[in-house]
Amino acid sequence: MTGERAITIRYMVVLGIFAAAIVAFTLHAIETPNQLGRPEFLTGYVMFGLMLGVALLNARKRLSMVPVGRAAYWLALHVLGGFLIIGLYFVHTQRIWPQGGFERAFAMLVYLVTASGIYGYVIQRFIPRRLTTSGIEIIYERIPAELARIRREAEEIALACTKEAGTDTLARHYLESLSWYFRRPRFFLGHVFALESGEHWVRFQVQTIERYLSEAERRHLAKLEALALYKDRIDFHFVGQSLLKYWLLVHVPLATALLAMMFWHIIVINVYAL
């Protein structure tokens, strides 16, 4: 076992003990309301504190240059806090779907934030590993320019084939079928589920036209095929990096709305309590 992994395991053990302590304290508060006050107040305030705590992860990302702990540890805290929040929510409400418009809106936000958080954690664990298997590395912001370069090169290959062979068979096939593929990223869902749809489509297009080409034209077709397969790997990076980049555009606004509703809920409850 490496030193880094051992440190991570010890850190997770500490987090587990901390989580167990919070749960035990909360359950004790519920069982002894006369000593520690009304349990719904306690669980609500603990849940609000946890929401503020997990929100610190976003601040930690913005201060990545400041040595305030490893990002992996902050992520572990964020995940643990999220699970504690959903657990405390069920303890606090004692039901899956509450009554009342505000309560239902709050419950929906809790479930959406939890679902989007789990989704984000899963894709951050698996997609980077899948991207490394493609054999290429490319920055997300450079993908449009790279796709434009690939499209220009594909058009040049089709034009060169027409000039050299004296026939436009490959060029017409490019205009009727392949140009659609080279125009922008394709087979989004296929790349999401690792179905290799793009590669199968390219192979089918090559087999469809290859029988009608001369030897000279087939050499140009081989270049087009290699270029199309390379574009398929670029498309794979586009899909994977898009998922990693844009899931936060759903998770963060939902979490912000949930925190705002929780803050308003605390104000209203304290006003009525007075």
Task: Answer yes or no: do 41 and 124 share one domain.
Answer: yes
Question: Does one domain contain both 20 and 105?
Answer: yes
Contact 205, 177 (CB under 8 A): yes
- Tell me: do 128 and 170 sit in the same domain: no
Q: Give the per-residue pLDDT at 150.
A: 97
Same structural domain, 110 and 229: no
Instruction: Tell me the average pLDDT of the chain.
Output: 82
The answer on 105 and 64 residing in a single domain is: yes
Do 92 and 226 lie in one domain? The reply is no
Report pLDDT digits (tens) over 92-112. Answer: 887 888 888 888 999 999 999
Q: What is the pLDDT of residues 33-83, one digit of tens each?
A: 444 455 667 777 778 888 887 777 666 665 555 555 566 677 777 777 788
Range of the domain at 233: 140-245
Which candidate, 200, 150, 205, places its Cα nearest to that of 176? 205
Residues 164 and 231 in one domain: yes
pTM of the model: 0.75
Could you say which DSSP state residue 167 is in? -
Cβ-based burial of 216 (10 A; exposed 0-12, middle 13-18, buried ≥19): middle
Nearest-angstrom CA–CA distance, 37 and 145: 62
Asked if residue 190 and residue 125 are part of one domain, the reply reads no
Structural domain count, the chain: 2
